[in-house]
Chain A
């Protein structure tokens, strides 16, 4: 077993990186895969909350890197899945506490025993981002169909290419279909055309995502939830499965157009 390292990043903050990481990790674990997720947002720890594991933290990423704890000790086992682990970010340190080579070394140690290592990157284009993408086999760029988020995503795509970690794939989060239909939100086609990268999935905007965050139970585990289904589909695509884009709206020709976008992107 050698894990695939997937880094989830964005450029702009608040677009749903942490939520995406928690959901993809939970979805992959629910499929029986051995998963570890790393919160690389040092100083702004949050992945523990979304996974509902905040009360179990003893050691963190920086403790493991600096040798105060063995890697094993910094890995918190998930409540629901025995095959899912979290390495939390340090809350009282900053990004300079970890280097890109620390991240590569850490992942090299984790790779033989896992199927997936998901890294939740901090927003921005500085040290934290470079740490997060250093060990990546695949980079996912999260964006919302909003003007500033798309611009920042474009910057990050360029930087991922410059670091030779491309081609990155796009996760379009919080799509509001009603707004797209009345011409007040860019469509998935618009965003894919602007950014010129392959789409890995579209997650519809859903209040349940906030509620799930409140409870620390990712929506990907809710069988009836649309955003959860979108995340489960992305988790399958990460495993190389060819899953068609879900029908965001069951009736009209929108699905057809979306599958065109996906087909074009592969």
Chain B
């Protein structure tokens, strides 16, 4: 019955909620890397790279990517354009 209500109210089904929540939690479980640790890691990477290159710290993204049961950490670090050259 709730599936029917979900559709009327435009909510996602409970099965989809379960799947989406698991997708995130399994990535962190497998790598033993909590969202908090990932956040700290991001800040430290920004700090180290900023010492050498001019980057845009607000645009830095650090994400886990899944490939079967393997995972990789992907960092996307936008460089700031050099002006007045």
Contact = CB atoms under 8 A, between A and B. Distances in A.
B69 A196 contact: yes
B35 interface: no
A196 B27 CA distance: 12
Q: Interface residue tally of chain A, by bracket?
A: 20 to 34
A82 interface: no
User: How many B residues touch the partner, as a band?
Assistant: 20 to 34
B19 A196 contact: no
Q: Indicate the member of A146, A151, A181 with the most B CB atoms within 10 Å.
A: A151
A151 B22 contact: yes
Contacts of A150: 18, 22
User: Which of B4, B13, B18, B69: most chain A CB closer than 10 A?
Assistant: B18
B41 interface: no
Nearest to B18: A147
Given A182-B2, A183-B6, A151 B26 contact: yes
SS of B interface (majority): helix
B29 A190 contact: no
B83 to A, nearest CB: 47
Interface centre among B4, B30, B69 (most CB of A within 10 A): B69
Given A182-B2, A183-B6, A190 B69 contact: no
Given A151-B25, A154-B26, A158-B30, A183 B19 contact: no
B81 interface: no
B40 interface: no
A138 B30 CA distance: 22
Contact of A194 (B14, B16, B26): B26
A8 to B, nearest CB: 21
Contact of A183 (B13, B22, B26, B68): B13
A76 B14 CA distance: 45
In the A-B complex, the 7 residue pairs with the closest CB atoms: A183-B13, A182-B3, A183-B3, A147-B18, A196-B69, A196-B68, A190-B19
Interface of B: 1-4, 6, 13-16, 18-19, 21-23, 25-26, 29-30, 68-69
